[in-house]
Amino acid sequence: MDKVFIESLVVDAYIGVYDWEHEQTQPLVLDLEMDWDNQAAARSEKLSDALDYDALSKAVTALIQSRPRALIETVAEEVAALVLTEFKCPRVRVKVGKPQAVANARQTAVEIVRAAV
């Protein structure tokens, strides 16, 4: 299957379990890998045949910034559900990184793979 990628999408969000995390935003860094048949778009050159990574990036950003969340696991699940349902993508891998979470780590992250049922 062909793929569409969004790499290192930075979204400032209210995210975390601790009180101080509810008072200031932190960056989340998202990597998305999506199954998509790219041949139709290549032939037609119509954006409507493509998985629009620009529209998708904006929708993911709006979703994450719509309310605070405690865990990055929740962010990953909600982003995956958005991609599968709103963008009719059959399969998505979502990695959500929280680079400021652990002082001596470059980044902490979770990754999930979800498919349409």
Ligand X SMILES: Nc1nc2c(c(=O)[nH]1)N=C([C@H](O)[C@@H](O)CO)CN2
Q: Return the number of the residue (91 or 112) whose C-beta is nearest ligand X.
A: 112
**Interface residue with ligand X, options 7, 54, 73, 111 (CB under 6 A):** 73
Report the alpha-carbon distance of residue 100 to residue 32 in Å, rounded: 20
Give one DSSP letter per residue of 24-46, joined into a string: S-EEEEEEEEEE---HHHHHH--
# residues contacting ligand X (CB under 6 A): 9
Find the helix or strand (DSSP H, E) in which 8 lies: strand 3-13
**Site stretch for ligand X (CB under 6 A), options 2-10, 37-45, 47-55, 71-79:** 71-79
Residues with catalytic function: 98
Report the alpha-carbon distance of residue 78 to residue 70 in Å, rounded: 13
Report the alpha-carbon distance of residue 25 to residue 100 in Å, rounded: 11
Is residue 78 at the binding interface for ligand X, with CB under 6 A as the rule? no
Report the alpha-carbon distance of residue 63 to residue 94 in Å, rounded: 14
Under rule CB under 6 A, which residues in 8-67 are in contact with ligand X?
Answer: 16-18, 21
Q: Return the number of the residue (62 or 105) whose C-beta is nearest ligand X.
A: 105
Q: Return the number of the residue (21 or 78) whose C-beta is nearest ligand X.
A: 21
Is residue 72 at the binding interface for ligand X, with CB under 6 A as the rule? yes
Residues near ligand X (CB under 6 A) are 16-18, 21, 71-73, 98, 101
